[in-house]
Amino acid sequence: MTISPSRLAKKPTLPAQPKTLPSRPLRLWQDESSQKEVRIEILPLIDVIFCILTFFILAAVGLSRQQAISLNLPKASNATPQMREMMVVSLDDLGQVYVEKQMVTRNQLNDAVKNYVQLNPSGSIVLHASRNVTYNEVVEVLDLLKGIGGNRVALATRTGEKNSNDSSSLTPAPNQQNFSNPYNNNPVTSPYPYLPANPFNNSQPNPNLKQQPTINP
């Protein structure tokens, strides 16, 4: 029995290809019950803005404030506050000189004042002298400053209320009675405020007062 060559060269059969299904978009499952609404929180932003604003305000105040050491300044009743660009020179109780809270010598003070006068033609120089410093040291520093700054030098004092008591114009003390004054020096108050007032007239002496000695010429 003979086999034909065509049968020997028969190709093997391939497995059948599965049918492809049409593609569909994938959809992820999400739990919509636990999902929150996305929003921008305003309160934290307001806190940050206020912090930045406070920082800039404090920085501006610190730059514009005059730097001077703490001294016990003398008080002047007629002093008026002056708000202008100025250079602060301080003189403490021991006679040490400071320029903007920095201790300097007399030569350094001279150079600093010269530089300030050249850079600030309209500025003024203010001396903060302690009330306990000697008069000679104040005059010495003022003379040095006026020699450079001229009329642009001022002396700092504390403002106070003007003294309204005048010896030529007296008012009755509270809870004090009027009496007839035999001394003719003040018709309202007694010349001896520690003694009781006389409730009687001129013809009746006060029994609480001691008899005044009389001197015959």
Please state the pTM of the whole predicted model. Answer: 0.40
pLDDT band, residue 103 (cuts 50/70/90): confident
SS3 101: coil
The per-residue pLDDT for 92 is 86
Own/partner contacts of 181-188, CB < 8 Å, gap of 24 or more, are none
Least confident of 6-10, 36-40, 143-147, 196-200: 196-200
Is residue 174 predicted with pLDDT exceeding 70?
no
pLDDT of residue 95: 84
Asked whether residue 1 carries a pLDDT value surpassing 80, the answer given is no
Residue 199 predicted with pLDDT over 60: no
What integer pLDDT is reported at residue 150 of this predicted model? 73
Higher pLDDT, 109 or 68: 109
pLDDT top residue among 6 and 147: 147
Structural domain spans, the chain: 82-159
Token couple for 38: 């996305």
pLDDT score, position 157: 76
| pLDDT higher than threshold 90 for residue 53 | yes
In this predicted structure, the answer to whether residue 49 has a pLDDT above a threshold of 80 is yes
From residue 94, give the alpha-carbon distance in Å to each of 100, 105, 132, 140: 17, 13, 9, 14
The DSSP annotation for 133-198 comes to: S-HHHHHHHHHHHHHHHGGGEEE--EE-PPP--BTTB--PPTT------SS-S-SSS-SSTTSPP-
Residue type, 31: D
In a 13 Å sphere around the CA of 57, the CA atoms on its Cβ side amount to 6
Q: Is 89 helix (H, G, I), strand (E, B) or coil?
A: strand
In the chain, pLDDT over 90 holds for what percent of residues? 4
Strand 97-99 relative to strand 102-104, pairing: antiparallel
Query: What tokens were used for 115?
Result: 């530089």
For residues 174 and 89, the model is more confident at: 89
pLDDT at 165: 44
- pLDDT of 155 strictly over 90: no
Q: For 97, list phi and psi in degrees, rounded to 5.
A: -100, 135
In sequence order, what are the residues at sequence separation of 6 or more whose Cβ sits closer than 8 angstroms to the Cβ of residue 158? 73, 74, 75, 76, 79
Residues 43, 123: Cα–Cα separation, whole Å = 45
Record: fold of 82-159:
Nucleotidyltransferase; domain 5 (3.30.420)
- What percentage of the chain reaches a pLDDT higher than 70? 45
Where is pLDDT greater, at 146 or 160? 146
Pair of tokens at residue 139: 């005059």
Q: Which residues pair with 125 in a beta bridge?
A: 87, 153
